[in-house]
Amino acid sequence: MRAWVVAVAIPALILAFSVSAKIYKWVDEDGQVNYGQQPPTGVEAEAVSVHAAPPSAKSGGSSSNDGGGSRSTATQQPQEDSEDTSASNEDAITENCRIARQNLSTLETAGPGGRFRTADGEVTRYTEEQWQQRVERNRKYLEVYCEEQTQ
């Protein structure tokens, strides 16, 4: 009985680890690039190969203990690294708020009949509903993330 379990378990484990989920990439009707395990029906999607990212230099290449009972380098961060990250996040938020304000201004100036460039570079005209959705999305973003920043 034990030999039978081993004979079935080993190939099953090998098969389980060798099968990888496919990731698909497609562009929706709004020109946005999307990724997922299943593309929507009726949309042309491209299978994308996904590779694990190499370990970062800060983590020391390993997140396991070094055998001496100490924590790994991945969990220990000097104080200045955390301050750099915080400043970097603030810069990113400031830039994203600037872009959202610019997008909202462009949308409001052009109106729903205006011409807009999609993510893939094509020029399109939004319907009233599409235009309203984009204006609302930008206003909501500004309200949630940019409220304390002056315009």
pLDDT digits (tens, 9 = 90+) for 5-15: 656 666 665 55
Report pLDDT for 151: 47
CB-based contacts of 94: which residues, under 8 Å, 6+ apart?
149
149/6: higher pLDDT: 6
Structural domain includes residue 121: yes
Lowest mean pLDDT across 10-14, 55-59, 89-93, 109-113? 55-59
Structural domain includes residue 137: yes
Burial of 5 from C-beta contacts in 10 A (0-12 / 13-18 / 19+): exposed
Report pLDDT for 82: 63
What percentage of residues in the chain have a pLDDT greater than 90?
A: 6
Structural domain includes residue 89: yes
DSSP reduced 3-state for 48: strand
Residue-range definition of the domain harbouring residue 112:
80-151
Structural domain includes residue 1: no
Structural domain includes residue 97: yes
Q: Which pLDDT tens digit goes with each residue over 13-67?
A: 555 554 556 788 888 888 888 888 888 888 888 888 776 555 555 444 444 444 4
Structural domain includes residue 11: no
Helix ranges restricted to H, the chain:
2-18, 79-110, 128-145
Number of domains in the chain: 2
Residues 139 and 86 reside in one and the same domain: yes
Residues 96 and 44 reside in one and the same domain: no
